[in-house]
Each structure stands twice: as C-alpha cells, then as structure tokens.
Chains A and B, each alone.
Chain A
Amino acid sequence: MQTLLELYSKASFIRAFELHVAVAAEAGHVPGLVHLCTGAELVEVAICSQLKGPRDQVTGSHRSHGLALAMGANPTAIAAEIMGRKGGISKARGGTQHLMAPRNGFLTSNGIVGAQVPLAAGAALTAKMMDARGIAVTFFGDGAANQGAVFETINLAVALELPLLFVLENNGLGQSTSVQYASGGSDLLKRAAGFGIKTASMDGYDGANCLNVAADIVEYVRKNGKPALIEAKVPRLSGHYFGEKADYLAHHNAEDPIENLAAQLGAGARAKAKSEADQAAHDAVGDALNMGEATVEASS
C-alpha cells in the first residue's frame, strides 16, 4: 500500500494541474467551461492506486480530470485535450467532459450526469469474461445518485454479480442544489444497501482512512467478483464550473483535505513533494498550451 507521502504527492499534482487549468481558462485558453475536481483528490488517488489499467477500467463524471491523471494518462495530452490543442488525447474531439484513456484504464468521463455508470457495468462484464481478476470502478456524485441509470446499474450489478465498484462522491452539491434538498432520505449508503450490495464509508478528509478503505473494498470486489459501493464524503472546493460566481457557494463551507494531510507530514518532505508536483503540472499545462489549437485537418 502506498504511503501518506505518496498520496500527498499525487494529490498535490492533481491539485496543481487543476489550478493551472483554471489559470488557462481565465486567460481564455479553454474553449468551454471546466469542472474542477478540487477537494476529491485524496479519494480518487487512493482508489486509483489500487487499480491497474487496462485490466481495470474506470469511468467518471464531467469532473474527471483527476481520475484520468490518477490512472496514469499522459498529463500533457489531457491538458491539451482540455484546452482543445493539437496534441489532445482525442485530438480535441472530446474535450474536458469526454476524456478517454482506456489503455491507462480510464475508459471515459461523461457529459451526462450518471451515464458513465452503466458503461462501467460493461467494463465489469468484460473483466468477468476475460477472467483476469480485473474490475471496473465508476465514480459519480450525489447529484447523479438520484438518476435512474445509477439505481438500475446497482441493481444489475448485484443481479449479474459483476466485479464493479461504485464510488459515490458526496460533496453535498448537485450543481447548485444541496443533497439535503434533492434526496429523499439523507443516508445515501442505506439507500444503496437496500439493493443488497456491500457498502462502506470513506472519509475524504482523512488520507489514512482513504487508503485503508480503498485497499479493503477493491480487494473485496476483486476477490469475490461482486459489486460494492463506497460513499466518500468530499468537499467541492470550486464552483460547479470554474469561475462560477454565485451566492450559494458562500453557504458551502469546506476544509481542504490536502491541507489536512499536509499537516501530518514532515515539513521537508512535504515541501519537496509539493514543489515537484507544482513544477510537473506547470510543465504539462505549459507544454500543452504551446501546441497550438487543434485544426480540422489534424483531427480528421
């Protein structure tokens, strides 16, 4: 299992990457809106570090830059895709909400809330048929937790015994709507348990807890070939999209999990990891920016 320092280092890289993307967006280098994953890094890194692509496959939501990076997709190609550059991982056909790096085990992110969840059932079916102990993992938010596609897929995974891990990242917000308002029944884990699936909680503010729960639950799915569901409590440290200026955000207070983790590490090691992460993110986004906009000829 990885150490807290490794977790900090990878999470800091994703955080720095997102902040550089935000700067690029502010400077007008991103075609559309970007949805940053800031706040969910510990959860995503902890789970993805238990996986190995392409045997294992991950699907994610519109907020998936960090998942693609955590699975090992090329950061420059991901940044280039987000910014619509020539060297984008899909030559700028997909963009920020449609990142695909299946060779690294990141099958796809998605522009439709919850639609990535049934796709992961397919990856799980393939893993089951190939019989190499591969699993599929799907990340979705508390907003998607009210989509029929998610309910249907949890039920299907139980009925067909699919090696599929559901990760419900509960950041308390579906776009601008609170989970308390939108959910019938405040306990989403109990709701899932009604489908007869194994469930577990993860504290996204506590790095050690993230690592332990991730190791246990991934091992459970892999060993038993059965589905499980984690509810991970995380903050959302930016707007629904970067740059959103809305009143509701002032009512959504959250501490920063990476800062919590930093406080547990030695000052020297922490500073070194952070500076390396910043430099790597700076280089990836900078290199992507220098590629120039994707052209029609290059993308066809």
Chain B
Amino acid sequence: MTEKLTIAQALNKAHHQLMESEPRVVVIGEDIVGGAGLGGKELGGVFGVTEGLAARFGKSRVIDTPISETAFVGMGVGAAMTGLMPIVEIMFCDFVGVCFDQLLNQAAKARFLSNDTLEMPLVIRTTMGAGDGSGAMHSQSLHGLLASVPGLEVVCPSTPADAAGLLKAAIKSPNPVIMLEHKGLYGLADNTKEDLPLVKLGEARLVREGRDVTIVAVAEMLKRAEKAAELLAARGIETEVIDPRTIQPLDAGAVLYSVQKTRRLLVVDEGPHFGGFADSVIAAVSSEGFHLLRSAPQKLTPPNTPVPYGTQLEAAWLPSVEDIVNKIDEMMYEE
C-alpha cells in the first residue's frame, strides 16, 4: 500500500503515529496548535506539520509556548533528560541564534557529561532554505553550523519518506537530533509506505547513478542537482547524485565509494561559503581519497553575504541549475 503525500503531510502523519505509539512523546513550540487563549480552529503550525495533534492527543502533550526559544528549548532538553521524548519546533532555523546556549552547551553536552548514562531522546525540528522572499533572518541554512557542534546529530530530509523516516529515527536516537526541513519542499509530493518506515541516521541515499561526476547535495540544492543531471545527460555527461540525508554523522563512505567510480566531486549547498557543510564533505573525501580524484573537488555555495530579499537578488544569490551545469562543464574540461 502506498500513498502520495507531501513532505508536510508525511511529517504530520509520522507525528500522529509516534504520539499514538509512545505516550512519552510531547510536541512543544510556538503556534503549533495556534490561537492559544483565543479558541477557534486549530492552526496546526505555520506549515501544517502539527495539524490535528492537539485535537487528538490533548494540549497537555501538544504545547504552545510563549515566544521564548531559550526557555522552551531548554525545557525540551530538561524533559528529555528526565524521561520524556520531546519534539521541539523552532519555527525558523535563524532563531537558533536566540537559544544557542541551550543547543551548544546544554542539549549537545548533557549526555557526554553524564558519561553516557543519560539518554537524550530529543528532536528539534526547524526549517532551512532561501527562495521564498523571507529575507535575511528567515532563510538561512544552518545545518553545517549545527553539525559542527560535538554531541548534536543533524538531518536534512529531501523526500516525504525520508522526512517521516528520519523523524522516527531521530526520536529513537540517544543523542539530540536537529532536523532541518526546507521551506520550499513542504509541498513536494511522492509515494510513501503506509507505516512510514524508519530511515537510519548516517546512511546516504543514491539518487541517480552516473560514471562521470559525483554531486552531493540536500534539500532544494538536491532538486537542482537532479535537474542539472538531466540536462548534462542529454549531452552525454553522466552524473551520480548522492543525498547524504544525515549531515552529522556524515556517510562519507557512500561519497568515497561513488568518487572511486566518477573521480570527480561537486558539493552544492545553501550553507555558507566558508567553514560549511560543503567544505566538510570535500575535506572528508580529499583526506581519504585524494588519489581517486582526477580534478580538484569543487563546491557551489551562495556568496559570502546574508540572504538578500528582492526576488532577483535572492535568485542570483542561490546556486542555480545553470551554475551546476557550468561548474561540471569546467570540471570535465579541466584535464
């Protein structure tokens, strides 16, 4: 039995399944029920991911909070340390700036400092991604920044099945997991299995096979890489596309295995140009597989500026399908 669901619908269904099967799961965030103190119809979150949860499981388990990220993220951390399984929503990943101590120093370190005697079944869900005119403070992609903190696991799903499956794996992990969902992909629909099976953390997905060049990308950049691969195939250049799905721990083995065949690597990412996810993938491949590469490993990222607002400015800021095609052409003709 398969069902066509959007990423938002798959996430919503996974929440329902998790809350039904595990009474310790609580969902915490701003406006996730909506209209608190006013009544009226449930909002179900800004992107509809938490729709229907409060009506079914009650407001003691689906908790609207004041706009106080430090307090409610910290509450999630403390609740996970004492036996609950909280799924905490930070509405936009840009807001981690407000509560970074609770992520950097509390969530990330508690398990280590307990000598691993405490489990931290905490999931933090948030968004990422530019392209919808949300401006500099609602559009960043901070997966690389978060993945650089020892103790945090980070995932970026790009399909409905992966979004649901990674959420289920995240809540089972003894470590805190941050899931970044691309705002532009919530409406992306695909077939899913009825039970939305768990997707193991740390396992990449081979999206497309090819012999000439390997592209690594997540979320919207993965979609663009797939389109670029189609265009290149028409000209006889075969691109292998890998979706790491988990940023930390990175499935470097899957990328190395691919590069062994293609001998070329391009990472396309919405994260920062300096010290970002793209750099980490390139470093991992270069140090382990330098001998495999026949051209310099490359990255395509936005320039080193905040996300601009105007439609044309924002479009120019993001790596485009054309940018990917051009970069691969350069790599192919470099030798």
Contact = CB atoms under 8 A, between A and B. Distances in A.
A160 B79 CA distance: 14
Contacts of A61: none
Contacts of A93: 112-115
Contact of B78 (A91, A121, A155): A121
Contacts of B72: 118, 121, 156
Interface of A is mostly: helix
A197 interface: no
B254 interface: no
B19 to A, nearest CB: 13
B71 A155 contact: yes
Interface string A118-158: 11111111111110000010000000000011001101100
Contacts of A120: 78
B75 A108 contact: no
Contacts of A118: 70-75, 77-78, 102, 106
Interface residues of B, number: 36
Given A93-B115, A115-B102, A125 B71 contact: no
A90 B84 contact: no
Interface in A41-75: 57, 59
Give the one of A59, A127, A159 with max B CB within 10 A. Answer: A159
Contacts of A57: 82
Nearest to B63: A160
B150 interface: no
Give the one of A107, A121, A152 with max B CB within 10 A. Answer: A152
Interface string A76-112: 0000000000000111011000101010000110111
A94 B82 contact: no
Contact of B115 (A108, A119, A153, A299): A299
26 contacts: A90-B114, A91-B115, A94-B114, A98-B109, A100-B113, A100-B117, A102-B81, A108-B110, A111-B105, A117-B74, A119-B78, A120-B78, A122-B74, A122-B78, A122-B79, A123-B82, A124-B78, A125-B78, A126-B82, A127-B82, A129-B26, A149-B102, A152-B70, A153-B68, A155-B71, A156-B66
Complex A-B, nearest 10 residue pairs according to Cβ-Cβ distance, in ascending order: A122-B78, A118-B74, A152-B71, A119-B78, A122-B79, A126-B82, A152-B68, A121-B75, A94-B113, A90-B115
Given A111-B105, A118-B102, A156-B68, 15 more contacts: A90-B114, A93-B113, A94-B114, A100-B110, A110-B106, A115-B74, A118-B75, A119-B81, A119-B106, A122-B74, A122-B76, A122-B78, A124-B78, A126-B78, A155-B66
Interface of B: 24, 26, 60-61, 63, 65-66, 68, 70-84, 86, 101-102, 105-106, 109-110, 112-115, 117-118
